[in-house]
Amino acid sequence: MSGAEAANDEIRFERRGALGLVTLDRPKALNALSLGMIDALHAQLDAWAADAGVTRVAIRGAGGRAFCAGGDIRHIYACGKAGRFDDVFAFWQAEYRLVARMQRYEKPVVALIEGVVMGGGVGISLHGAHRVACESYVFAMPEVGIGLFPDVGTTYALPRLPGRIGTYLALTGGRVGPGDALAIGLATAYAPAQGFEAILDRLSDGGPVADAIGTGAPLPPTGPLVAERSLIDDAFAADDVADILGRLDVAASAGSTFAAETAALIRTRCPTSLCIAREQMTRGPALDFPAAVLTEYRLVTRLMHGHDFFEGVRAVLIDKDGRPDWRPATLEAVDRDAVRAAFGPTERPEPRFS
């Protein structure tokens, strides 16, 4: 059987021999995940899991600019501003359930990543066995810039990256190219984008997945994460965000441009989000994947009733003035006890992610 099994305006599913192929198809929105896409993908994954003829799944984004730039944050913003919090929480639950489903999926999942992969796009790619980066690959988890926190399972994944790189990524939202992604384990293989269709052909033949994605293409050069690894490990080992900034400032005063730029970037981020993200990186190593996602759900349910997320989205995505009014506006004013309490159980019934 081949051809389209199911399709709508935002996501397409195909059966190609032994391969189940997912194409995210919102290129004008950088393939951001809508609730409809999330629900359709979850249902299709369940169907392919029960189909003995499908032995592997691949997922890609349409348009060439992005694999997936995240969840549909504009929709969440609009629902929250309208007071439709049942819709807000329905989105987060569905997205987190999908991420947890993909992490424990019974068959190999291959993400073919062209362009930007952020937020929800990370959630549906990073936790699978195979992440193929191409020359335009760009990874980022920039949630601290919109009053949120790194989610979609990165409470589990980021602290397990080498050294303190995960903490660096959580607090900066910095971008990672293909060379560094391969070096630190965000990506598992490399192929030029023009070779992705050939990979899909080999996957459809049903042979070993590793052989299908192993193109032997020359690897791209590494970048700042490898070059600055020692500085990152030292600075981001500090106990709190203020101490991290202090160490970066010392390195900057000694002539490190990377340290100066990193400190300046962190200082543009939401103070409360920074403190939450640092706490995530402390707790993450002790959590299994379902517990990490449940932790994220607890955090997001609290932040949805606060100020900073909606202000951050307004400043970055709606009005685009780049001048968020964070409350509180400084790290010193953040209530650390409230941050720690936000990780605890909520009063609402909590979903299961196992």
Edge to edge, the sheet with strand 116-118 lists 66-68, 116-118, 138-140
**Rounded CA gap, 22 and 40, in Å?**
10
Told to judge if 143 belongs to the known catalytic residues of this protein, a careful annotator would answer yes
Q: Where are the alpha helices (DSSP H) in the chain?
A: 35-49, 73-81, 85-103, 120-123, 154-157, 165-172, 178-184, 196-205, 209-213, 224-227, 229-235, 241-253, 257-266, 271-283, 289-303, 308-313, 336-341
Catalytic-role residue among 20, 70, 119, 120: 120
Catalytic-role residue among 20, 71, 179, 312: 71
* Cis peptide, bond prior to residue 328, ω within 30 of zero: yes
Q: Would you state the structure tokens that stand for residue 150, as one six-digit string?
A: 């790194």
31, 68 Cβ separation under 8 angstroms:
yes
Catalytic-role residue among 10, 14, 143, 180: 143
Neighbour-count burial of 50, counting CB atoms closer than 10 A to its CB (0-12 exposed, 13-18 middle, 19+ buried): exposed
Taking the alpha carbons of 295, 268, 262, 188 in that order, is the dihedral positive or negative? positive
Told to judge if 71 belongs to the known catalytic residues of this protein, a careful annotator would answer yes
**Rounded CA gap, 303 and 273, in Å?**
10
Any idea which residues carry the catalytic annotation? 71, 120, 143, 151
